[in-house]
């Protein structure tokens, strides 16, 4: 079945460090891929998405590229801020389905 595997946390970085959170997926067909962010005590917000191979999603300095050959959608940011501290979820939606399948989440903490 369809699934998402992402890097386990917690990840702790200093401010202005480079961030990578790995995400790989298993799916039939051509799924859409997402990164969601959850700030403490809040619901999920869509951070970025990509709907086909080689698409790059980007938002707020974060980027992720849909790599079909490696079935990956790694999240990157060149210089993190304290305000980026949150839990990040990689997710997919199969091309023929409506439900979203989430990874287990990666908690990110940024030190000033």
Partner 1 sequence: NAGVMQNPRHLVRRRGQEARLRCSPMKGHSHVYWYRQLPEEGLKFMVYLQKENIIDESGMPKERFSAEFPKEGPSILRIQQVVRGDSAAYFCASSPPIPPTGVAYEQYFGPGTRLTVT
Footprint of partner 1 (CB under 8 A) = 4, 32, 36, 42-46, 49, 51, 89, 93, 95, 97-105
CB of 79 vs partner 1, minimal distance in Å: 27
CB of 112 vs partner 1, minimal distance in Å: 25
Nearer residue to partner 1 within complex by CB, 17 or 44? 44
Nearer residue to partner 1 within complex by CB, 18 or 106? 106
Could you tell me the CA-to-CA distances from 67 to 47, 84, 91, 96 in Å, in that order?
Answer: 18, 24, 14, 20
73/54 Cα distance (integer angstroms)? 10
Nearer residue to partner 1 within complex by CB, 1 or 112? 1
62/35 Cα distance (integer angstroms)? 10
Q: Which residues contact 104 (CB under 8 A, 6 or more apart)?
A: 6, 8
């Amino acid at each position: 079945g369809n699934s998402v595997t992402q890097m386990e946390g917690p990840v702790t970085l200093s401010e202005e460090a480079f961030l990578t959170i790995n995400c790989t997926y298993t799916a039939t067909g051509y799924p859409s891929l997402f990164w969601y962010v959850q700030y403490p005590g809040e619901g999920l917000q869509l951070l970025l998405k990509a709907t086909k191979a080689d698409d790059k999603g980007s938002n707020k300095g974060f980027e992720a590229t849909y790599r079909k050959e490696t079935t990956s959608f790694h999240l990157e940011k060149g210089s993190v801020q304290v305000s980026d501290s949150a839990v990040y979820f990689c997710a997919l939606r199969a091309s023929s389905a409506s439900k979203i399948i989430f990874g287990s989440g990666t908690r990110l903490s940024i030190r000033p």
